[in-house]
Amino acid sequence: MGATKNAFQPDYAVPPGWILDEMLEARSLSHAEFARRCGRSPKLVSDIVAGRAPVEPEKALQFEKVLGMDAGLWLNIEADYQLHLARKAEAARLERAVAWYRAFPVKDLVQRGCMPKPESEADGVGKLLGFFGVASVDAWSSRFSEACVAYRHSPTFKSSEQSLTAWLRMGEVQGEAQECAEFNEPRFKANLKAIRGLTVKTPAEFLPEMKRLCNESGVAFAVVPCFPKTALSGAARWLTPRKGLIQQSVRHLVNDHFWWTFFHEAAHLLLHSKKDVFVDEKGRDGTDIEREADEWAGSFLVPKPDWERFKAARPRSEAAVTSFARSHGIHPGIVVGMLQHEGVLPWDHLNRLKQKYRWN
């Protein structure tokens, strides 16, 4: 994930002009005479010797004829020298980006195998850019920071922008690695009904099947634990116009939160723009889009007329909740969470019906 193999990279390179100057001196050729034989100006030869002008293919062929040294060697020396200069300039740019780098959860990214352990902060900048798949901090800002604009302006959004983009990138990498059919909305809706029936199973049982059903509908599914300084629940976005992604943080270890988040993110893919990134966290600001996703998720889990009748009865017993959940083919913990969310039950009531998950 953005890592490159170790390779020998010398911290020096010989400019071709040095070699040219030594060869001219060994042959007792002046710069002016060499220039005359090549059909070039003395100033150009002086600039090449001083490193101010490069050895280009046409010049290399002329040098080959006059000095007998293969044109390819001249070009290789020039290429090595130019790469050396570029590496020096890149090292300086990376050094200037250290403050940017320090804001990211680098230790966590290394522990999760997302990037190799940096040898220095400047080296870490390069490795972090590799993880994001971009060449510069400006490119990172252009590609990833745009996804955070709406959330920076939300008074309820508290997550670190750097941790958020790192988390989103991890989901993106997982999603890109999954082979998916082209997105098919009717198939996705049908498969969501099958996934709804998995709510009564354990993670070991439902996760592989859930991923398969999503993939054959054109949706990647990724579970990525969130980083410190984030309160993320899930995200939905389009990796391509034909491939969606649902990403969950499993921040809460209870099944009602997991399943509500999943169907909420599915609603974003079905209802909202393919151009936006939908990130949901604790205490989100209740925009129309979020309310629409919540309403869709609730109605999908339990048909609205059935839910309104059940809610109006003010259920309080385990038996009532369990019977209602069984009649709709979902886990009773989800019903408890919905009742708590709507204020029918206190937050500490009937929690024993919820199923606790353990995530590796």
**pLDDT (0 to 100) of residue 284:** 52
Q: Provide the CB-side half-sphere exposure for 30 (13 A, CA).
A: 6
Nearest to 132 by CA among 107, 160, 109: 109
Q: What residue spans define the domains of the chain? A: 16-96, 99-143, 183-353
Give yes or no for a contact between 59 and 36, defined as CB atoms under 8 angstroms apart: no
pLDDT of residue 155: 47
- The CA-based diameter of the chain, rounded to the nearest angstrom, is 106
Buried b (16+ CB within 10 A) or exposed e, 265-294: bbbbbeeeeeeebbbbbeebeeeebbeebb
Q: Which one of 1.20.120.450, 1.10.260.40, 3.40.50.300, 3.40.50.150 gives the CATH number of domain 16-96?
A: 1.10.260.40
pTM, whole model, 2 decimals?
0.77
Rg of the chain, C-alpha, whole Å: 30
pLDDT of residue 286: 63
How far, CA to CA in Å, does 222 sit from each of 2, 192, 194, 235, 245? 19, 16, 18, 10, 8
Could you read off the pLDDT of 260-279 as tens digits, one per residue? Answer: 999 999 999 999 999 888 88
Sheet of 243-248, strands arranged across:
219-223, 243-248, 232-240, 278-281
| Per-residue model confidence as pLDDT tens digits over 110-155 | 999 999 999 999 899 999 999 999 999 999 988 886 555 445 444 4
Tokens standing for residue 222: 């990724």
Per-residue pLDDT band at 10 (split at 50, 70, 90): low
pLDDT tens digits, 172-193? 999 999 999 999 999 999 999 9
**Res 329 pLDDT > 90:** yes
